[in-house]
Amino acid sequence: MDLDYSSEELAFRDEVRGWLRENLPADLRRKVESYGALSKDELLRWHRILADKGWIAPAWPIEWGGTSWNVVQRYIFEEECGYAAAPPLIPFGLAMCAPVLFKFGTEDQKKRFLPRIYRGDDFWCQGYSEPSSGSDLASLRTAAVRDGDRYVVNGQKTWTTLAHMADWIFCLVRTDSALDMKQEGISFLLIDMKTPGITVRPLRLMDGGHEVNEVFFDDVRVPAANLVFEEGKGWTVAKYLLGYERMNTGRIGASKRELERLKELAAREMKNGKPLLAVGGSGGPTIVTGVLQVMLDVLDFHLGPGVAVDLPRIHEQAAPETVIVEEKMPAQTTSALTQMGYRLRMVPMLGAVGALKTEPGKLKGAADARKGGTASGY
């Protein structure tokens, strides 16, 4: 596996980085960096800036506004946005409902909803979990009964992210409760949040923030034209959507930005006359080892399953930006560590590290590190 970008990919990265530098509003960047709560207007302001550029939905088909970028370019774009502290793109419309409509929606549904999702005219949320149906989602009880050209919906959803901002909700509902398998008889409805009978109540987080909600449906009348795919086949749609939902949790660029802040903090703050980055506990690992562990966790997510990342073969040193690694370290790991900004000192095997000369501000041998109370590995 070669993690190095090609010259074309590097040029693309520079283009994205330069555009972000010029077009990401400073007030939005500062708010993201300071962990401020973004309003709906602020989230949509950034959405529409990207839409005007044509970069809001890179993975969409070209005829619907996609960019035709390959998967590496899409990754670079997402990473650079996160690293630049751009506001997140709320995935419920762009990356969850839209793929469902491309796969299962009617032409009328595509023409009605997709352009509005692209422009940011409609803000979406997801109606899956219920008070008694979380991990066992198929046990959901919110009911939708057909009444002429409408469905009448009654029930409750919970932990509904950003429902208080949403214009629309895509919702799993039970349209047939008489079937033996609980995965059957579930349907996928698109519901206007302004419909009479919908009540949204906040669920306050531990820090007092308002992100998630309860949503109540009391005799909510939904046009039958808002049914996606077939009645009773919503579980098929739900499984397809969940594949896209999982792809929105990595946030590699934002994670790298936060890790850089952690490194800067640990290098600046002092304990016993030394930077925290170089201080270890009694026989325990130094902070740099912990930072490396988190970085490699991010790397492991970035590389995907099946790629070995072996932290015990990485040794922290007094110089925060330098690590000693064995020559047999996997190439993808050493390449990624270099991209993260670390200088690498390659040795044939860890036993040779103790013979390295120790000088002030230079690499510190593993044997000396042990005497100083730092860990040589886990």
The ranges assigned to domains in the chain are 7-89, 124-246, 252-371
* pTM listed for this prediction: 0.76
Torsion of CA 95, 81, 20, 29, to 10 degrees: 110
| Strand 210-223, strand 124-127: pairing | unpaired
Q: Which CATH number fits domain 124-246: 1.10.3470.10, 3.30.310.50, 3.30.540.10, 2.40.110.10?
A: 2.40.110.10
Handedness of CA 209, 211, 212, 213 (dihedral sign): positive
100 close to 190: Cβ distance less than 8 angstroms: no
Alpha helices (H) along the chain: 7-23, 26-33, 40-53, 71-83, 91, 98-104, 107-119, 234-245, 252-268, 287-303, 331-339, 366-371
Predicted local distance difference test score (pLDDT) of residue 178: 94
Q: Per-residue DSSP letters for 179-242? A: -SSTTTTEEEEEEETTSTTEEEEEEE-TTS-EEEEEEEEEEEEEEGGGEESSTTBHHHHHHHHH
Output the six-digit token pair for 369. 């590190």
Higher pLDDT, 145 or 323: 145
- Is the pLDDT score of 26 beyond 60? yes
Enumerate the active-site residues: 245
Dihedrals phi, psi of 220, to nearest 5 degrees: -80, 120
Predicted local distance difference test score (pLDDT) of residue 271: 80
Instruction: Classify residue 79 as exposed, middle or buried by CB count within 10 Å of its CB (0-12, 13-18, 19+).
Output: buried
Render the burial of 249-278: b for 16+ CB within 10 Å, e for the rest.
ebbbbbbbbbbeebbeebbeeeeeeebbbb
Q: Tell me the pLDDT band of 234, cut-offs 50, 70 and 90.
A: very high
For residue 324, CA distances in Å to 36, 315, 358, 371 come to: 38, 6, 13, 17
pLDDT, tens only, 240-282: 998 877 666 667 778 778 878 877 887 788 888 877 766 655 4
pLDDT, tens only, 360-374: 333 333 333 323 333
DSSP conformation class of 350: G
113 close to 101: Cβ distance less than 8 angstroms: yes
Predicted local distance difference test score (pLDDT) of residue 267: 79
Mean pLDDT, residues 140-150 = 98
Least confident span in 101-110, 194-203, 340-349 = 340-349
Mean pLDDT, residues 29-55 = 97
Residue 177: strand, helix, or coil: coil
- C-alpha–C-alpha distance, residues 248 and 70, integer Å: 17
pLDDT, tens only, 60-99: 999 999 999 999 999 899 999 999 999 999 999 999 999 9
Least confident span in 5-9, 47-51, 113-117, 343-347 = 343-347
